Amino acid sequence: MAIGTVILSAKKRCNLLYIISALCIIQALIGGAITGPSIYIYVSIAPIVSGDSAEIKFVFATTGIFGTHVIFDWLIGISVGRRCFSNAKKKSTRNLLLIWCCTGSNTIINLIIIASLTKKLNKQIGRSMKNSLQSSMRNYLRDESVKMSMDELQYYEKCCGIYSYEDWHELSWLSKYEIDVNSEGFKRYREGDENVHLPIVPWSCCKLEFPTQCLHDPLQQTMNAHLWKNEPNIVTDSINANGCLDIVWKPITKILAVFAVLISISTILHIIIFCLMRILYTSCRNLYLLPDQKGLSPGWVFGRGDCGYFRGKTLNEIMMGIDQSGPPEDRSEKSGKKHLMAFRSLKAIMSKNKKTKKERPEEEKLMNESTSPSFFSATTRGTFNTSEKNTIPDTDVLLYLK
């Protein structure tokens, strides 16, 4: 039994090719929507998180590669659809369609795996970015490259610390070797022997639009040191209050969510395109086995002649259930010349089938259960002898061939 059988005319086959091409273009655009943000994260966001940038780069390099595969696979799909439309009778077309379906399915399966892991992946990236920011803050005064990277992040993104500027107060990023341990300010804020927690933030945390001097270091800004105790609101107003983690992590979270949606849409379209491509291919393939090379032809997703399956209705039996003769009033207008031409076409096809019977057994089985050349006699009311050149079949057979 054929699955998803559709009877297509020449116009419908042409329209189906256009629909498949349009859906392939949409799939290619989805691939571009996956590749573009992946490149952006790889180039712009990952280098900011210097500590664990390799992990983030690996994730988005993977999504970018598969997105590129989606683009090329569906652009090739347009060419495969045209090949199925114009050269379905060739065995190479069947092999090309099979290879294309396998490679496309492999890409989609990998993308589905990535989509199913996006939630865990997002959390892991968040933890990695947090650890990276903490490491950068601890080594802020010990590594010049880390200092420059952290300053660029806080200055251009207008953020400070991980969650807020207070992270700099709580994190041990200053030691007795980096400040004047004999100053009164140090003795006032000192909380340990080796490391100290001071209300100091880097200059890159300052608000550019603050009208007066930025208050970020009470040990150096001794003239305004009283403000840290008496007017803490003024101090906080001069510093960017937002943390850097959300600013860096938020676009990655959104992109991963969009990836999950795009992959879901791409999976649905993949199944639809695969079914439509199979219908187009089988309809065009079956067309070469029918008398009318420009008429109706059945196509299916899976049916007789696919993967060694030769059960269910034959091609002839399917076609006999279709009214191809038109309204009754038009039948009397058919000329004898057209009837004779149809009969000659039938004889030519039957003669060809007889000669190629041993060479193409699959097509013989696709047409009819019987291997006899007179296979039309079992499915029509009219009978005729193909060995007699002057024998004319009855009207029903000729109408079927039209």
- pLDDT computed for residue 315 by the predictor: 73
pLDDT digits (tens, 9 = 90+) for 248-285: 888 889 999 999 999 999 999 999 999 999 999 989 98
Give the per-residue pLDDT at 258: 92
- Strongest mean pLDDT among 155-159, 230-234, 298-302: 155-159
pLDDT surpasses 90 at 389:
no
Contact assessment for residue 46 and residue 61, using Cβ atoms and an 8 Å cutoff: no
DSSP string, 214-244: ----TTT-GGGTTHHHH-HHHHHHTB--S-H
- Judged by DSSP in three states, 13 sits in helix
Question: Which contacts (CB < 8 Å, 24+ apart) does range 78-85 have?
Answer: 78/20, 78/21, 78/24, 78/25, 80/277, 81/17, 81/20, 81/21, 81/24, 81/277, 81/280, 82/17, 82/21, 84/277, 84/280, 84/281, 84/284, 85/13, 85/14, 85/17, 85/280, 85/284
* SS3 of the chain: helix, strand, coil, percent, to 5: 65, 5, 35
pLDDT at 373: 38
Distance from C-alpha of 10 to C-alpha of 205, rounded to nearest angstrom = 69
Band (pLDDT 50/70/90 cuts) for residue 28 is: very high
Supply the pLDDT for residue 393.
Answer: 38
Domain regions of the chain by residue span? 6-124+247-299, 165-241, 325-401
Q: Return the biggest CA–CA distance within the chain.
A: 123
Q: Give the separation between CA 215 and CA 225, rounded to whole angstroms.
A: 9
Question: Token match 């003795």: residue?
Answer: 187
pLDDT of residue 374 exceeding 60: no
Buried b (16+ CB within 10 A) or exposed e, 249-279: beebeebbeebbebbeebeebbeebbbbbbb
Burial class (CB in 10 A: 0-12, 13-18, 19+), 70: buried
d(CA 18, CA 78): 9
pLDDT at 117 over 70: yes
Do residues 382 and 394 make contact, with C-beta atoms less than 8 angstroms apart? yes
* 266 in Cβ contact with 27 (< 8 Å): yes
Per-residue confidence (pLDDT) for residue 187, from 0 to 100: 61
Write out pLDDT tens, residues 142-184.
888 888 888 988 998 899 999 988 888 888 787 766 666 666 6
Q: pLDDT at position 27, please?
A: 95
Element (H, E) at 349: helix 336-355
Q: What does the pLDDT read at residue 394? A: 37
pTM of the model: 0.70
Beta-carbon contacts of residue 150 (< 8 Å; ≥ 6 apart): 136, 137, 140, 202, 204
Is residue 323 helix, strand or coil? coil
Distance of CA 6 to the CA centre of its chain: 27
Model pLDDT for residues 46-87, shown as the tens digit of each residue? 877 666 677 788 888 999 999 999 999 999 999 999 999 999
Task: List phi, psi (to 5°) of 37.
Answer: -60, -30
How far apart (Å, rounded) are the C-alpha atoms in residues 393 and 339?
9
Distances from the Cα of 247 to the Cα of 33, 154, 297, 375, angstroms: 22, 10, 58, 74
CB-CB contact of 136 with 202 (8 Å): no
